[in-house]
Chain A
Amino acid sequence: MRGYIIRRLFESALILLGITLVTFILLYLVPADPARQIAGRSATAETVQNIRDQLGLNDPFFVQYARYLGNLFQGDMGRSYLQRAEVSELIAARLPASLMLMVAAIVTELIMGLTIGVVAALRRNKFADHSLMIFSFVSISAPQFVIGILLLYVFAVQLGWFPIGGYGTPAHFVLPAVTLGFLGAGWYSRMMRSSMIDVLAQDFVRTARAKGLSKGRIILRHVMPNAILPIIAMIGIDIGLFMSGIVVVESVFGWPGIGQLAWQAIQRVDIPVIMGVTMVSATAIVMGNLLADLVAPLIDPRIKTK
Chain B
Amino acid sequence: MKEFRLNYELVKEFIIEFIREETYSNGFKKCVVGLSGGVDSAVVAYLSAEALGKENVKAIIMPYKDSDPASKEDALLVVKKLGIPNELIDITEIVDAYFKGNVANVRKGNFLARIRMSILFDKAKEFKALVMGTSNKSELILGYSTWYGDMAASLYPIGDLYKTEVFEFARFLNVPERIIKKKPSADLWPGQTDESELGASYKALDSVLKLYIDQRRTKEEILSLGYKKELVENVLNRIKKTQFKRTLPPVAKFSPRTVGLDFLYPHDFKV
Co-assembled chains A and B: no
Task: Enumerate chain B interface residues (CB-CB to A < 8 A).
Answer: none
